[in-house]
Amino acid sequence: MPVQPRRRLPAEWEPHQATWFSWPHNRDTWPERLAAAETALAQAVQVLSRGETVHINVLDAQHAQRVREQVGAGENILLHILPTNDAWCRDHGAIFIQEQTADGWRLVATHWQYNAWGEKYPPWDRDQQVGRAMAALLQVPCLPLTPVLEGGAIESNGAGVLLAAQKCLLHPRRNPGMTTQDWEVYFRDYFGAQQVVWIDAEIQGDDTDGHVDVTTRFVAADTLVVAVETNPADPNYPVLQAHWARLQALAPALNWTLIPLPLPQPVFHRGQRLPASYANFYIGNRVVLVPAFGDPQDAVAQALLQKLFPQRQVVGIDSRGIVEGLGGLHCLTQPVPAV
């Protein structure tokens, strides 16, 4: 039998050749704060581009001109006319992995199915095509895969451990009939996962069915930051307390260190609780971009992450506009690993 190529999903702090975005444009997603979301993302792009290439998907030539005016003329910022339904590149974009060949490691795109978080927000026809197009633009091999997988539902430590969002990945409107065992085969074969830890934690306002990147993030191969709620009256309190307790029970066997990460005060829009979380940070080559909400806990979260990433600059990005779209900074990004 042929030997399966060795593949791995790098940790986010490993070197990138680029970060990829799909520019916000959907007014159904941002009915009132689209301009604020664009302004925040432009700042993120400018900061990131000092340490890596930034790719941005835009709708057409007119949209490209608008985006270029916002992000500036940096030579590290590349715009691609690649129309999308929405901006959440973490979930609709290719998930790039490293694959070992006889000549060394190469970059490969995995292209999973996408259906707007279990068919919640049609249409998604353009978004479903983005992964293949990203691979073509980089001229790298593309592996088309049949399950529905959103990038925010997984988190790799780069050393064989993968976190996976159980409720999301087993959702009947995403992957009817699939089991955790089925998924673990995919995660082993395509991401190099030797161990999968299934996560079940969903905060108020999260419409993803519990994406990992809202609550639980690796900051080193053996270290996790975990969102916690300290107010017993908050609806997130029992969920996150149970999540913390479960991870604490697992930590000794996995040699994990767990670090609590606060949540901001609740953020609302038209009476709807939004999924505001500092855990939705993004690790670039030189910076760590952290959501900010005009909250006293902003400084606490930034200081904690600065201590954890002393070689990178922690930059707060005002995400009050972004989170109106029910996502965050990390949800807008897709890293392209270096090889």
- Does this model's pTM top 0.85? My answer is yes
What's the total number of domains in the chain?
Answer: 1
In this structure, what token pair is assigned to residue 297? 């806990």
Q: What is the pLDDT of residues 204-248, one digit of tens each?
A: 999 999 999 999 999 999 999 999 999 999 999 999 999 999 999
Q: What is the pLDDT of residues 20-59, one digit of tens each?
A: 999 999 999 999 999 999 999 999 999 999 999 999 999 9
Which residue range(s) make up the domain with 274?
Answer: 7-337
Q: Is the pLDDT of residue 2 over 90?
A: no
Of the residues 89, 142, 168, 331, which is catalytic?
Answer: 331
Q: What is the pLDDT of residues 284-307, one digit of tens each?
A: 999 999 999 999 999 999 999 999
Report yes or no on 124 lying in a domain. Answer: yes
- The CATH number of the domain holding residue 200 is 3.75.10.10
Report yes or no on 305 lying in a domain. Answer: yes
Query: Annotated catalytic, 142?
Result: no
pLDDT at 4: 59
Report yes or no on 311 lying in a domain. Answer: yes
Report yes or no on 210 lying in a domain. Answer: yes
Report yes or no on 98 lying in a domain. Answer: yes
Report yes or no on 1 lying in a domain. Answer: no
Q: Residue 7's closest CA among 93, 94, 101?
A: 101
Mean pLDDT of 119-132: 98
Per-residue confidence band for 5, with pLDDT thresholds at 50, 70 and 90: low
Q: Residue 55's closest CA among 85, 94, 29, 8?
A: 94
Number of H helices, E strands in the chain: 10, 19
Rounded to whole angstroms, the Cα distance separating 161 from 212 reads 14
Rounded to whole angstroms, the Cα distance separating 252 from 230 reads 24
Q: Residue 45's closest CA among 35, 53, 36?
A: 53
Report yes or no on 2 lying in a domain. Answer: no
Rounded to whole angstroms, the Cα distance separating 217 from 230 reads 19
Report yes or no on 173 lying in a domain. Answer: yes
Mean pLDDT of 121-150: 98
